[in-house]
Structure 1
Amino acid sequence: MIKVFRLPDLGEGLTESEIVAWRVAPGDTVELNQLIADVETAKAVVELPSPFAGVVHELHQQPGTVVHVGEPIVSFEVAGTEPAGTEPAGTEGAGRAGGAAASDPPGQASAAAPAEEREAVLVGYGAAPERQGRPHRRARTGAEADLTEPATVEALEPAATAAVSEPAATRPRSTPPVRALARGLGIELSQVTGTGPTGLITREDVQARSDRSAPESAPESVADPAAGERETRSPIRSVRKHTAAAMVRSAFTAPHVTEFLTVDVTPTMDLIESLRTNRAFQGVRIGILAVVAKALCLAVARNPSVNTRWDEAAGEIVQYHYVNLGIAAATPRGLLVPNIPDADRLGLADLAAALAGLTETARAGTTAAESLRGGTISITNVGVFGIDAGTPILNPGEAAILALGGIRRQPWEHRGEIALRQVMTLSLSFDHRLVDGEQGARFLVDVGTILADPAMVLTMV
Structure 2
Amino acid sequence: MTTMTEASVREFKMPDVGEGLTEAEILKWYVQPGDSVTDGQVVCEVETAKAAVELPIPYNGVVRELRFPEGATVDVGTAIITVDEAGGDSGAGEAGGAASVAESETPAPTPPAPEAPKPEGRKPVLVGYGVSEASTKRRPRKGVPVQQAQARVQAQQPEAAAAVQGELNGHTSPVDRPSPVSGPPAVGSATAVGGRPLAKPPVRKLAKDLGVDLATVTPSGPDGIITREDVHAASAPPAPEPVQSPVAAPSPAPAPAAVSHEGARETRIPIKGVRKATATAMIDSAFTAPHVTEFVTVDVTRTMKLIEELKQDKDLAGLRVNPLLLIAKALLVAIKRHPEVNASWDEANQEIVVKHYVNLGIAAATPRGLIVPNIKDAHTKTLPELAAALGELVSTAREGKTSPAAMQGGTVTITNVGVFGVDTGTPILPPGESAILAVGNIKLQPWVHKGKVKPRQVTTLALSFDHRLVDGELGSKVLADVAAILEQPKRLITWA
In 2, Cα distance between the equivalents of 1:456 and 1:5?
56
Query: Which residue type is aligned with residue 314 of structure 2?
Result: R
Cα–Cα, structure 1 residues 222 and 28, in superposed 2: closer, same or farther, change >3 Å?
farther
Alignment of 1:13 with 2:48, yes or no, is no
Query: Aligned residue for 1:295?
Result: 330
The alpha carbon displacement at 1:457 in A equals 2.5
1:329 aligns with 2:364: yes
Deviations 1:389-435 (A, max 9, x none): 10000010000000000001011011111110000100000000111
Provide the C-alpha distance between the structure 1 equivalents of 2:313 and 2:390, rounded to a whole number of angstroms. Answer: 20
* Higher alpha-carbon deviation: 4-13 or 346-355: 4-13
Name the counterpart of 1:305. Answer: 340
Structure 2 unmatched ranges of 5 or more:
1-7, 89-93, 97-118, 120-200, 203-238, 244-259
Gaps of 5+ in 1: 82-89, 93-101, 103-160, 163-220
TM, length-normalised to structure 1: 0.68
Partner Cα distance (2:489, 2:276) in 1? 41
Answer yes or no: is the 8 Å Cα contact 1:390–1:403 preserved in 2.
yes
Residue 62 of structure 1 corresponds to 69
Counterparts of 1:229 and 1:91 in 2: how far apart (Å)?
Answer: 39
Could you say which structure has the larger radius of gyration?
A: 2
Cα deviation code 1:353-375 (max 9, x no counterpart): 11111111112211001001000
Counterpart of 1:450 in structure 2 is: 485
| CA-to-aligned-CA distance 1:102-131 (integer Å, 9 cap, x gap) | 9xxxxxxxxxxxxxxxxxxxxxxxxxxxxx
Q: Which segment drifts farther, 272-281 or 416-425?
A: 272-281
Q: How much does 1:23 deviate?
A: 1.2
Percent identity among equivalent residues?
A: 56
Confirm or deny that 1:401 pairs with 2:408: no
Q: Relative contact order (alpha carbons < 8 A, sep ≥ 6): 1 or 2 greater?
A: 1
Q: Structure 1 residues 341 and 222 mapped into 2: Cα distance closer, same or farther (>3 Å)?
A: farther
Does the 8 Å CA contact 1:56/1:76 hold for their aligned counterparts? yes
Q: Which residue of 1 aligns with 2:411?
A: 376
Whole-angstrom distance in 1 between the partners of 2:23 and 2:400: 18
Call closer, same or farther: CA 1:392–1:33 in 2, change over 3 Å: same
| Greater Cα offset, 277-286 or 250-259 | 277-286
Alignment of 1:242 onto 2:277: yes
CA RMSD after TM alignment: 2.3
Structure 2 SS opposite 1:232: coil
Matches of 2:289 and 2:419, distance apart in 1: 27
Q: Distance in 1 between matches of 2:394 and 2:241?
A: 27
Counterpart check, 1:229 vs 2:264: yes
| Residue 56 of structure 2, aligned match among 41, 49, 56 | 49
Once the two structures are superposed, what CA deviation does each residue of 1:179-226 show, in whole Å capped at 9, x if it has no partner?
xxxxxxxxxxxxxxxxxxxxxxxxxxxxxxxxxxxxxxxxxx994457
CA separation of 1:398/1:53 partners in 2, compared to 1, >3 Å: closer, same or farther?
same
Say if 1:286 and 1:349, in contact at 8 Å, map to a contact too. no
Instruction: Tell me, in whole angstroms, the C-alpha distance in 2 between the residues paired with 1:457 and 1:68.
Output: 49
Q: 2:83: which partner in 1?
A: 76
| Counterpart-to-counterpart distance in 2, 1:222 and 1:405 | 37
Shift of 1:24: 1.1
Instruction: Report SS of the residue matched to 1:73.
Output: strand
Distance 2:349 2:87 in 1: 52
CA–CA distance in structure 2, aligned partners of residues 414 and 294 of structure 1:
25
Task: Tell me the distance in 1 between the aligned counterparts of 2:490 and 2:268.
Answer: 53
> How far apart, in 1, do the equivalents of 2:22 and 2:95 lie?
25
Shift of 1:30: 1.0
Q: CA deviation at 1:275?
A: 1.0
Q: Which runs of 4+ in 1 moved over 6 A?
A: none
Confirm whether residue 434 of structure 1 aligns to residue 469 of structure 2.
yes
Q: Which amino acid aligns with 1:321?
A: H
TM-aligned CA deviation for residue 80 of structure 1: 9.2
2:284 aligned partner, one-letter code: R
Q: Normalized against structure 2, the TM-score is what?
A: 0.64
Deviation at 1:70, TM superposition (A): 2.1
Counterpart Cα distance in 2 of 1:63 and 1:363: 22
CA distance in structure 1 between the aligned counterparts of 2:487 and 2:9, rounded to whole angstroms: 66
Read off the aligned partner of 2:63 and give its amino acid letter.
V
1:36 maps to 43
| 1:366 partnered with 2:373 | no
Give the whole-Å Cα distance in 2 for the aligned partners of 1:54 and 1:257. 57
Please give the per-residue CA displacement for 1:77-102, whole angstroms capped at 9, x wherever unaligned.
Answer: 11299xxxxxxxx999xxxxxxxxx9
- Report the 3-state secondary structure (helix = DSSP H, G, I; strand = E; otherwise coil) of the residue aligned with 1:357: helix
Distance 1:7-1:458 versus aligned 2 partners, 3 A rule: closer
- Residue equivalent to 2:456: 421
- Per the TM alignment, residue 315 of structure 1 is displaced from its structure 2 partner at its CA by 1.3
Q: Which amino acid aligns with 1:65?
A: A
Give the Å deviation of 1:263.
Answer: 0.6
Native 8 Å contact 2:417 2:424 kept in 1: yes
Deviations 1:221-253 (A, max 9, x none): 994457812211121100010000000000010
Aligned length, in residue pairs: 329
Query: Structure 1 pair 243/453, CA: closer, same or farther in 2 (3 Å)?
Result: same
Checking the alignment, whether the CA contact within 8 Å between 2:65 and 2:95 is kept in structure 1 is no
Q: Name the amino acid aligned to 1:15.
A: T
What SS does the aligned partner of 1:454 have?
A: coil
Cα distance between partner residues in 2 of 1:237 and 1:10: 17
